[in-house]
Amino acid sequence: MNAPVTSGAAAPAWAEQVVGRCRELAAISEEDGRLTRRFATPAMARANALVGGWMAAAGMQVRTDAAGNLVGRLEGGDPAAGTLLLGSHLDTVRDAGAFDGPLGVLCAVACVERLRAEGTVLPFAIDVLGFSDEEGLRYGTAYLGSRAVAGTFDPALLDLVDDDGVTLGDALRDFGGEPEEIAGASRRGERLLGYCEVHIEQGPVLEGRDVPVGVVSAIAGATRAELEFSGRAAHAGTVPMGARHDAACAAAEWVLAVEAAACAEPGLVATVGRLEARPGAPNVVPGAAVASLDARHADDAVREAAVTALRAEAQRIGAARGVEVAWREVMSASAVAADGALTAALSTAVAERGLAVVTLPSGAGHDGVALAQLTGVAMLFVRCAGGISHHPDESVDEADVAVALDVLHGFVRGLAR
Ligand code: GLV
Ligand code: MN
Ligand code: MN
């Protein structure tokens, strides 16, 4: 465990602790040799226990809600003043880096620890949230944890099954969550001051502008879909090329159509991150293929039109090859604008730290997309080397984290002024 930071320490010491804790947390994985931590897995339980211990050491009351979110609470001096939500997610993508998600949770914990160490008592309470699912790796659809907090979790999601046939409801129950009580995780109706998240930028803009942090203006909308191409499996040595209904070839043609469509539409990004030929033997013509689609744009209408066109293109390609195409939309999230007042307060904290205020949109999705249905949302991005993210080489500079901690601390104190 990392050594505790002593009371009155300057931001660099807190930053060292935060980065050390992110690295320690990155050792908690479902897989040997790489970081993969999906929703409601034993690895998530170990991550919650480790971070929960740090929250408790920072003076917070710790609990896990019905959706498996970790919640650490620091009471304020005035119960009528409401609650400020801080945090990020503790799940990861497959073969992840150490900072996407945990940086925001551990910066929030450090902020609370710093406030207590200096003897600051805020009128409002702070809840630090470690969301149980933002990436959507296990069940395809993202923001399971934050949707529960926002009160927008659709109970039909409990019937989703993972690759091993385990339903979301059963996974959550085994984890210690309460699928039947998921509505109880909602914070709707409470007096909330807003939600603020620190996150690595995951892109190259701040590095290009030579600034350690930036203030997020909006988060792009996203659609996820899953396609199943069904052709006819056959012998790879005997069936002539013209007589095949090769599902993998249909999927491959469509993958390139996705790339071409995104290249042709300014601001559109579209990715096929999962592609599988079945039955998956070298001497069998693939009878089926499964592909995922992730499409994003800052303008919802452009994204929706692009997705409609890509769906039609899949049908056209399939028809030409005698391959059936089934399309299932897994998730659709609209673009979200950051809250004006909270973003102004965050910008003030950046300026008071003596830095130029750089604002930028987020192409990546964040828990704020779900929480915007509940309360105002603000985000602070931290520069990361080469814009590398969703990759084990993801990194942050400790000096930049120290700046982010100063800004978050200034922002929180500023809300109390
Ligand atoms: C989350 O990282 C996403 O943008 O998919
Ligand atoms: Mn991510
Ligand atoms: Mn993230």
For ligand 1, atom 5, which residue shows the shortest CA distance? 365
CA 23 to chain centre: 18
Pocket residue to mutate for ligand 1, from 38, 134, 143, 331, most atoms within 8 A of Cβ: 134
d(CA 135, CA 157): 15
For residue 233, how far is its CA from the centre of ligand 1 (angstroms)?
A: 35
Structure-token pair, residue 26: 């990155």
For residue 206, how far is its CA from the centre of ligand 3 (angstroms)?
A: 17
For the Cβ of 365 lying below 6 angstroms from any atom of ligand 1, the answer is: yes
pLDDT for the residue numbered 94 = 98
Pocket residue to mutate for ligand 1, from 135, 139, 200, 296, most atoms within 8 A of Cβ: 135
Give residue 11's pLDDT band: very low, low, confident or very high (50, 70, 90): confident
Say which residue the tokens 């005997």 belong to. Answer: 238
pLDDT beyond 90 at 5: no
pLDDT for the residue numbered 7 = 46
For residue 191, how far is its CA from the centre of ligand 3 (angstroms)?
A: 26
* Contacts of 134 by beta carbon, 8 Å cutoff, 6+ apart: 88, 89, 91, 101, 142, 143, 145, 146, 365, 366, 367
Question: Nearest CA to 14 among 125, 116, 97?
Answer: 116
Give residue 209's pLDDT band: very low, low, confident or very high (50, 70, 90): very high
For the Cβ of 135 lying below 6 angstroms from any atom of ligand 1, the answer is: yes
How many C-beta atoms lie closer than 10 Å to residue 87's C-beta?
31
Q: How confident is the model over 109-119, as pLDDT tens digits? A: 999 999 999 99
Of ligand 1's listed atoms, the one at least distance from the Cα of 93 is 2
Q: How confident is the model over 400-410, as pLDDT tens digits? A: 999 999 999 99
pTM: 0.93
Q: What is the sign of the dihedral through the CA atoms of 266, 93, 153 and 337?
A: negative
For residue 343, how far is its CA from the centre of ligand 2 (angstroms)?
A: 22
Residues by chain with Cβ below 5 Å of ion ligand 2:
100
d(CA 272, CA 274): 6
Structural class in CATH, domain 223-333: alpha beta
Mean pLDDT for the chain overall: 96
Architecture of the domain defined by 8-220+335-415 = 3-Layer(aba) Sandwich (3.40)
Domain boundaries, the chain: 8-220+335-415, 223-333
For the Cβ of 364 lying below 6 angstroms from any atom of ligand 1, the answer is: yes
Q: How confident is the model over 32-90, as pLDDT tens digits? A: 999 999 999 999 999 999 999 999 999 999 999 999 999 999 999 999 999 999 999 99
Structure-token pair, residue 261: 């469509």
pLDDT for the residue numbered 221 = 97
